[in-house]
Amino acid sequence: MSTLEIHASSSENKNGTCLWQHIWKANIPPKVRIFAWRLARNALPTNKNKKARNILKDDTCNICGMESESTYHAVVGCSHSRALLEAMRTDWPVPDDSLLQFSGPDWFLLLLDELSDEERSVITRIFWRNWSDRNSMTHGGGRLSIDASARALRAMQRTLLQKQQNIIDDVKGKSPLNVFAGKQKHKVPLEK
Ligand SMILES: [Zn+2]
């Protein structure tokens, strides 16, 4: 076990940074944050977890039929998940394959610890989409489309950026909701 892994099991890296802050400080929508907690805690209802709880006898992945459906397989290893990661790589900073390796039970927190803020946000959203696609395919019988998933991720990103821009505009007084915006042509000197 590496030093990093030992620290990870106590939820801190070698610099004493709590690894969980990579999730709670990430720039992601609330539903994606909740998913990330469950992913990091191995609390997603994967076939492997269901088998461990005697809910299922066979934990083979329903999508590829090739491997046991662990959390890692569901969001990284499976064919659909791999394909979406590759599709997003064309214009998003998706971490290199060498970082997307299974490194033990804490693989997700350890991966986040290797990434920049932007990469953390990007990879968590792609993993969330991979898990959502899997659920809609298994439970709703929907068809998987890499193009549709990629479009949905990009739309989510645009909405988030727009919201952030609105907040910035609001702070700067540019928001149309601010009735005084545009009327203050002269700076009023502060009263002494
Ligand atoms: Zn699979």
CA 146 – CA 151 distance, rounded (Å): 9
Residue 88 has pLDDT above 50, yes or no: yes
pTM: 0.81
Locus of tokens 């076939």 = 47
Ligand 1 centre from 76 Cα, in Å? 9
Per-residue pLDDT tens over the stretch 119-131: 999 999 999 999 9
Percent of the chain topping pLDDT 70: 84
Locus of tokens 């005697």 = 54
Per-residue pLDDT tens over the stretch 34-69: 999 999 999 999 999 999 999 999 999 999 999 999
Ligand 1 centre from 74 Cα, in Å? 6
Ligand 1 centre from 20 Cα, in Å? 27
Listed residue (61, 74, 174, 164) closest to 127, CA to CA: 74
Ligand 1 centre from 64 Cα, in Å? 4
